[in-house]
Structure 1
């Protein structure tokens, strides 16, 4: 009888936005960083797209 082990879970991705002057950037705990955006909503969209791709 052999034991089956699932592969270790991938690190959980957690995104946030960071404001730098007039710009807002999305970042993730995995090291990903989105482009600087003037609209916070676009930076949040970038983060959502990153999460959907992983």
Structure 2
């Protein structure tokens, strides 16, 4: 993740917006809450490798 996103200048706000949009999409497609939480649990630790700016 770190190498792939290096130099993309992704901010905290942009990462947060991605998560928000992802949750909205999953909800609109009636993805079960448990699966949504599992996906977010996988993405959460990747934040440190994706976000470069506060």
- TM-score, normalising length: structure 1: 0.31
Look at both structures and tell me which one has the larger radius of gyration over its CA atoms: 1
Please state which structure has a larger fraction of its residues in helix: 2
**Higher strand content, 1 or 2:** 1
| Greater RCO, 1 or 2 (C-alpha within 8 Å, sep 6+) | 2
